[in-house]
């Protein structure tokens, strides 16, 4: 006689799931097969369905089976295979159920952001906190930690958890994934949130969302700097400081017309990961200061930098950072977001010179020379859409009276701005920048503004930020 199975308190999720699926069969079994047709269905089933019993003699053996098969015949993701291996290492059924519940909860959080966020997270976590090697650039070299984590982090973890994670016993696995896993998921997602929405306590996370590096490098760098014992304030500082290094690196390369795709910078960034991994805040600031000081690309390249057909996105970022910074120094509430992606009217790049070569023949013989100066960073500002279009082709002497109504960086072109503006005139930071008005706008004036931009960049991206946190 068949007796229905009764769940026991110690039954884990697998047993519960099997019982529920069996009940699904009962509910879904066609009624027309339960009577006269049943014997024929049984014959058909016996002749056409092969049931194979697979016995796992150990948790390790069970994981191997799980890694290669599942009930739907679908390929398992690396995250699922990692989970299977981790659970196979935890022998206590209650602990296994607890980790399984934690795992489901954390993966659900990640999937609420993106369907593949779980895989991106494990890659960032393992690269940021544990990877110690990277494939050499020579042809034919073998993949190392960095590459293996990117392609098969579950297998890499299986091969390295004893050496790199110090995980061996069931209790060590349990404690690690109970505490470390949720902590790093939480901060991976908080970092993601701060990149998407400007956060005053960590503004550079937002900046690198628009002008950063590949996520496959950026996310590991960010996670490498934080520790599970850090408080929230310290973690946000670490993430912000690390993001500031990334932005400084990319901006300085961009004004020098240097690329920063993953292939060209991955060795530099991997060395940075290892350098700042697990740093305390004071040590982190020392290391980041040193790394910024050693960046080859200098701000002097501003002298030759300008707008061209493929760098409009960066020029908008640079001018937004400059405009937001000068506003902040003078006590205004506007910031980077106000210029780069405001909710209302958008800002556009404005050429101070109209595109009229004939009006500048007193200084230029060749039009391409005129265009080069016209597109120089010293001859560009940001204006609201509409305002920019309404007088963009006018001569400077007609534009300048409109400029006094705009943002601080634009207003500084007008002599009137240097009167009755105590926040501007009395600021020590502003005095260091040596602003000056421009009644006319010739090559000499563009040269002056280029030098001003260089001074602003040197001040804005100064390593003094790590002690003052003023920009």
What pLDDT score does 467 carry?
86
Residue 94: count of CB within 10 angstroms of its CB: 12
Cβ distance 288 to 276 under 8 Å?
A: yes
**Using one digit for the tens of pLDDT, what is the confidence trace for 150-175?**
999 999 999 999 999 999 999 999 99
The closest alpha carbon to 338, from 363, 321, 362, 314, belongs to 321
Residue 62 has pLDDT above 80, yes or no: no
Q: Tell me how many degrees the CA angle 192-195-196 measures, rounded to the nearest 5.
A: 90
Sign, Cα dihedral of 285, 286, 287, 289: positive
Instruction: State whether residue 380 is helix, strand or coil.
Output: strand
The closest alpha carbon to 297, from 245, 256, 237, 242, belongs to 256
What pLDDT score does 74 carry?
60
% pLDDT > 90, the chain: 78
pLDDT top residue among 49 and 450: 450
Q: 441 Cβ partners below 8 Å, 6+ apart?
A: 352, 353, 379, 396, 413
Cβ distance 237 to 105 under 8 Å?
A: no
Q: Please tell me the distance from the alpha carbon of residue 223 to that of residue 230, in angstroms, as a whole number.
A: 12
Identify the residue whose tokens are 């005129």.
370
Burial-class residue 395 by CB neighbours within 10 Å (0-12, 13-18, 19+). middle
Q: Please tell me the distance from the alpha carbon of residue 73 to that of residue 248, in angstroms, as a whole number.
A: 48
For residues 33-54, average pLDDT: 83
Identify the residue whose tokens are 């970092």.
191
pLDDT top residue among 137 and 432: 432
What pLDDT score does 95 carry?
96
Residue 213: count of CB within 10 angstroms of its CB: 21
Cβ distance 107 to 79 under 8 Å?
A: yes
pTM comes to 0.86
What pLDDT score does 470 carry?
46
Cβ distance 90 to 170 under 8 Å?
A: yes
Residue 311 has pLDDT above 50, yes or no: yes
pLDDT band at 71 (very low <50, low <70, confident <90, very high): very low
The closest alpha carbon to 165, from 234, 108, 153, belongs to 153
**Using one digit for the tens of pLDDT, what is the confidence trace for 111-130?**
999 999 999 999 999 999 99
Cβ distance 382 to 349 under 8 Å?
A: yes
Instruction: State whether residue 119 is helix, strand or coil.
Output: helix
Query: What is the separation of C-alpha 35 from the centre of its chain, rounded to a whole number of angstroms?
Result: 62
CA end-to-end distance (rounded Å), the chain:
78
């Amino acid at each position: 006689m068949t007796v229905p199975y009764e769940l026991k308190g110690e039954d884990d999720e697998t047993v519960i799931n099997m019982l529920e699926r069996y009940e699904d069969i009962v509910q879904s079994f066609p009624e027309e097969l339960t009577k006269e047709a049943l014997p024929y269905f049984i014959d058909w089933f016996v002749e056409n369905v092969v049931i194979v019993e697979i016995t796992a003699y150990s948790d390790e053996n069970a994981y191997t089976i799980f890694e290669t098969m599942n009930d739907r015949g679908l390929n398992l993701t690396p995250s699922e295979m990692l989970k299977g291996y981790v659970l196979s290492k935890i022998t206590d059924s209650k602990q296994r159920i607890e980790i399984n519940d934690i795992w489901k909860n954390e993966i659900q959080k990640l999937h609420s952001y993106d369907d593949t966020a779980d895989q991106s997270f494990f890659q960032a976590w393992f690269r940021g906190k544990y990877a110690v090697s990277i494939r050499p650039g020579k042809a034919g070299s073998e993949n190392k930690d960095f590459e293996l984590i990117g392609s098969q982090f579950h297998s890499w973890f299986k091969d390295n958890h004893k050496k790199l994670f110090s995980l061996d016993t069931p209790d060590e696995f349990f404690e690690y994934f109970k505490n470390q896993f949720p902590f790093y998921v939480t901060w991976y997602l908080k970092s993601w949130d701060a990149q998407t929405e400007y956060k005053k306590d960590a503004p550079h996370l937002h900046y690198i969302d628009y002008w950063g590096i590949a996520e496959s490098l950026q996310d590991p760098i960010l996670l490498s700097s934080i520790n599970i014992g850090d408080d929230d304030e310290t973690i946000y500082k670490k993430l912000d400081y690390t993001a500031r290094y990334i932005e400084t690196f990319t901006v300085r390369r961009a004004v020098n017309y240097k690329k920063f795709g993953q292939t060209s910078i991955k060795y530099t960034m991997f060395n940075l990961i290892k350098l700042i991994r697990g740093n305390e805040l004071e040590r982190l600031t020392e290391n980041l200061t040193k790394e910024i000081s050693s960046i080859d690309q200098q701000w002097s390249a501003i002298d030759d930098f300008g707008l061209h057909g493929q760098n409009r996105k960066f020029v908008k970022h640079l001018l937004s950072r400059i405009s937001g910074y000068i506003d902040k120094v003078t006590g205004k509430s506007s910031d980077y977001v106000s210029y780069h992606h405001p909710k209302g009217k958008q800002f556009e790049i404005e050429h101070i010179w109209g595109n009229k070569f004939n009006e500048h023949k007193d200084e230029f013989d060749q039009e391409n020379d005129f265009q080069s100066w016209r597109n120089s960073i010293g001859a560009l500002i940001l204006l609201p859409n509409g305002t920019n279009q309404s007088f963009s082709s006018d001569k400077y002497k007609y534009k300048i009276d409109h400029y006094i109504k705009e943002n601080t960086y634009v207003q500084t072109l007008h002599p009137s701005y240097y009167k009755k503006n105590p926040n501007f005139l009395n600021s020590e930071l502003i005095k260091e920048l040596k602003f000056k008005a421009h009644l006319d706008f010739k090559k000499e004036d563009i040269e002056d503004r280029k030098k001003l931009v260089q001074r602003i960049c040197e001040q804005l991206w100064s390593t003094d930020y790590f002690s003052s946190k003023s920009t």
